[in-house]
Amino acid sequence: MSEIVLEEVSKHYGAVRAVDGVSLRAAAGKFLVLLGPSACGKSTVLRLIAGLEEPTQGRIFIGGHDVTRLEPDKRRVSMVFQSYALFPHLSVAENIVFGLKVRRTPRPEREERLARVATLVGLTEVLARKPAQLSGGQRQRVALARAIAAENKICLMDEPLSNLDAQLRHGMRVEIRALQQRLGMTVVYVTHDQVEAMSMADRVILMRQGRIEQEGAPEELYAQPATMFAARFIGTPAMNLVALADGPRGATIRGAPETPVLAGPGAGRVLGVRPEHVALTGEPGVPGSVASAEYHGADTILEVRVGDETLFVRAPGRRELGPGARVRLGWKPEAPHLFDAGSGVRLDLNQTLPQPA
Amino acid sequence: MKHVYGWLLLTPAAILLVGFTHYPAAATLVDSFFSTGTAIRPSRFIGFGNYALLAEDPIFWKVLGNNLWFALGTIPTSIALAILMAVWVNDRLPARALVRMAYFTPTVLPMIAVANIWLFFYTPQIGLVDQFRALFGAPSHNWLGDPGTVLACLMVMVIWKEAGFFMIFYLAALQSLPPELEEAAKIEGASRWHFFRRVMFPLLMPTTLFVLVNATINSFKLVDHLFILTKGGPDNASSLLLYYIYQVAFSFFDTAYASTLTVVLLALLAGLALVQFHLVEKRVHYR
Ligand SMILES: Nc1ncnc2c1ncn2[C@@H]1O[C@H](COP(=O)(O)OP(=O)(O)OP(=O)(O)O)[C@@H](O)[C@H]1O
Ligand SMILES: [Mg+2]
């Protein structure tokens, strides 16, 4: 009953196409993440679902009903704003029950829900305080509590964790996910942080300039990026994307003609390989020289120059490799991805194998 | 050594302040306990004599009453209007800058100019008000000459002038409210009125306090229009406290009595400001 469907929805501000023909489906009880760089239209999609903006084109359905022109309060959705949007003159308790009072929920029920929600998010101690007297994490919880208290099946969240420090962010990530699963809410969650997307989502929608770039489960986006943009956006450090050139024995990395990395032609193609899939090997690996090494604790990120290109390598443990050290790189045959250099679209690896005569 | 520099820097301002503010204030207080000196009879100490006189002066009571009615009639209305206009002008409406400017214009006009404009409105027979009434066949009326209507006429004019000024403060306050608050309230199902009453108005409280204090002071301070419109008449029906002080001091040349009136006016204003701060502060939300 709490499924959200967008059909070819567009939102234009004058010449700006904030959202451009987006169709998506957020399944009931699932956690959908809208991921993308700044200004790609994530917030606008969320505001369209909430009813704070009216679409220029397209239709929006919630629970099977067309809500395209429905006022926000009739849509029965909750929203957690990036800035929390707490009422500064009201206490935490009053903030949480604001909507219940508006909707004239009887007092006993109101109190009961307040107590329950406050316990759920761990705010019982601070109910009498004003938002200004809370820490960032506590404010975030108040916003969350207000959204939950409404007992709507749908909750929209716009970068709710972006103001928190790394540690708190991790804690809240786990809490929000647990809460969503416990209450069976449909959550649409906006973020530009791919770690958040990967760790929380049932499904991820990657957006770019108002359009959907790729949609899928987190592991799909990681394992099968549909475009170079998706490949670059997901994973840290980002996937290595190196231009290929034609060589006598197969495609080679530009500027390193000795070692073929793939069968078939290379020009106009881009090879993608994730840093964590590159290993330091011996012969016959691709030769390169270390430009820098950054120790991260569990692993070391090496920046390696190969021909005209640079590859990042995530090597486990500490590697004492100074700049200029000669190394050889290798990866498993299934590790690389291949993209068309012009359109950025993913190519099937098999296409590059030599055709049987 | 540092103290010396500090004092040196403060001296010019201090001299001006003492010379033109503190000394006259103190002198006024002292003067109120003396009789007015003339060529034949020099001024002498008479204790609370002037105050006793004041208590029995029917014009003083009349003028004080006028001033209280005037304050009561102008302050709440102009504040309410200011909020209304600010909320309206803050919305996304076409030609918003133009509307804002239109509302603000009365404020930049000097009171004397405003009084002259309104004089044309209120003039019997040829004035705008009477012309308009004539359309419905109503008889002409001497608005400013009738003790029953003169004060109300002045109030309308002052509201017209002040509301735009206060609107600017409310507008500034409204624009500092994050728009997400309204959106959050909307999603929670709050109507515009509910949002105004429960969120916007409370958050505007600091502005309201500021405006309230200013409006009160203004209602006792602003008398320029009386010079143009009524000279306090007819029969002191439109005279205000400050105008009466002016008359006593510079028309009747009773400086001692004028000092006494001034002390009373200052005490009144100080008392009002204290009460306002105390009462409103309890309900004010300071971030
Ligand atoms: N009210 C508006 N008027 C004009 N343009 C707007 C408006 N709101 C958003 N835009 C434009 O629409 C585009 C998408 O904005 P949106 O807020 O959805 O981005 P976003 O993906 O949420 O970015 P961020 O991660 O920075 O929050 C941007 O180019 C933005 O400038
Ligand atoms: Mg955004």
Q: Could you read off the pLDDT of A276-308 as tens digits, one per residue? A: 999 988 777 888 999 999 998 889 999 999 988
Is the model's pLDDT at A355 over the cut of 60? no
CATH of residue A197's domain is 3.40.50.300
Q: What is the mean pLDDT of residues B159-184?
A: 90
Q: Does residue A357 sit within a domain?
A: no
Is the model's pLDDT at A82 over the cut of 90? no
Q: Please provide the average confidence, as pLDDT, over all residues in chain A.
A: 89
Q: How far is the CA of A204 from the centre of ligand 1 (A)?
A: 20
The more confidently predicted of residues B284 and A140 is A140
Q: Which residues pair with A279 in a beta bridge?
A: A330
CATH of residue A325's domain is 2.40.50.140
What is the reported pLDDT for A24? 94
Same domain, A201 and A253: no
List residues of chain A with CB under 8 Å from any CB of chain B: 50-52, 71-73, 77-79, 81, 83, 85, 87-89, 98-99, 102-103, 132, 146, 150
Q: How big is the A-B interface in CB pairs under 8 Å?
A: 59
Ligand 1: which residue has its CA nearest to atom 26? Answer: A38
CB < 8 Å to B185, chain A: 98, 102
pLDDT band at residue A77 using 50, 70 and 90 as cut-offs:
very high
Same domain, A258 and A208: no
CB < 8 Å to B283, chain A: none
Percent of chain A scoring above 90 in pLDDT: 61
Among B178, B185, B189, the residue with its CB nearest the CB of A103 is: B189
Is the model's pLDDT at A28 over the cut of 60? yes
B137 to chain A nearest CA, in Å?
49
**Residue at a domain's end among A200, A224, A248:** A224
Same domain, A213 and A256: no
Rounded (to 5) percent helix, strand, coil in chain A: 30, 35, 35
Angle between helices B205-221 and B58-90 (to 10 degrees): 140
Q: Does residue A296 sit within a domain?
A: yes
Binary contact (B188, A83; C-beta < 8 A): no
Same domain, A145 and A244: no
Same domain, A33 and A80: yes
Is the model's pLDDT at B100 over the cut of 90? no
Is the model's pLDDT at A356 over the cut of 80? no
What is the reported pLDDT for A352? 44
Distance CA B61, CA A146 (A): 56
What is the reported pLDDT for A2? 87
CB distance B258 to B50 below 8 Å? no
CB distance A97 to A149 below 8 Å? yes
pLDDT band at residue A353 using 50, 70 and 90 as cut-offs:
very low
Among B180, B194, B285, the residue with its CB nearest the CB of A81 is: B180
Element (H, E) at A290: strand A286-295
Same domain, A103 and A124: yes
In chain B, whose CA is at the least distance from the CA of A98?
A: B188
Distance CA A67, CA A61 (A): 5
What is the reported pLDDT for A13? 93
Nearest to A179 by CA among A198, A200, A159, A165: A200
Q: Could you read off the pLDDT of A210-247 as tens digits, one per residue? A: 999 999 999 999 999 999 999 999 988 899 999 988 88
Same domain, A219 and A245: no
Number of domains in chain A: 2
Choose from A102, A133, A139 for mutation: most chain B CBs within 10 A.
Answer: A102
Is the model's pLDDT at A9 over the cut of 90? yes
What is the reported pLDDT for A272? 93
Q: Please provide the average confidence, as pLDDT, over all residues in chain B.
A: 86
Is the model's pLDDT at A350 over the cut of 70? no
Binary contact (B185, A83; C-beta < 8 A): no
Same domain, A180 and A289: no
CB < 8 Å to A96, chain B: none
Distance CA A85, CA B195 (A): 13
Residue range of the domain that includes A107: 4-224
Binary contact (A52, B178; C-beta < 8 A): no
Token pair for residue B34? 């003396």
Same domain, A154 and A194: yes
Binary contact (A102, B189; C-beta < 8 A): yes
Q: What is the mean pLDDT of residues A18-47?
A: 94
The more confidently predicted of residues A265 and B23 is B23
**Alpha-helix runs per DSSP H in chain A:** 42-50, 92-96, 98-102, 107-121, 136-149, 166-183, 194-200, 218-223, 228-233
Tell me the C-alpha to C-alpha distance, in Å, between residue B67 and each of B150, B157, B221, B234: 13, 15, 10, 15
What is the reported pLDDT for A354? 38
**Residue at a domain's end among A158, A193, A224:** A224
**Residue at a domain's end among A224, A256, A291:** A224
Cis? peptide before A336, omega within 30° of 0? no
pLDDT band at residue B283 using 50, 70 and 90 as cut-offs:
low
Where is average pLDDT lowest: A157-161, B199-203, B233-237?
B233-237
B287 has a chain A CB within 8 A of its CB: yes
A188 to chain B nearest CA, in Å?
15
Those residues whose C-beta lies under 8 Å from the C-beta of residue B21, and which sit 6 or more positions away, are none
Which phi and psi angles does A238 have, rounded to 5°?
-65, 160
Same domain, A8 and A89: yes
Element (H, E) at A240: strand A240-245
B58-283 fold: MetI-like fold (1.10.3720)
In chain A, whose CA is at the least distance from the CA of B204?
A: A89
Same domain, A242 and A184: no
Q: Does residue A232 sit within a domain?
A: no
Q: What is the mean pLDDT of residues A169-193?
A: 90
Same domain, A157 and A245: no
Where is average pLDDT lowest: A87-96, A205-214, A251-260, B187-196?
A251-260
Q: Does residue A166 sit within a domain?
A: yes
Distance CA B251, CA B144 (A): 22
Query: Which of A49-63, B148-162, B209-223 holds the top average pLDDT?
Result: A49-63
Q: Does residue A158 sit within a domain?
A: yes
Q: Does residue A354 sit within a domain?
A: no
CB distance A275 to A306 below 8 Å? no
B283 has a chain A CB within 8 A of its CB: no
Ligand 1 atom with least separation from CA of A45: 18
How does A199-216 read in b/e, with b if 16+ C-beta sit within 10 Å? ebbbbbbbbbebbbbbbb
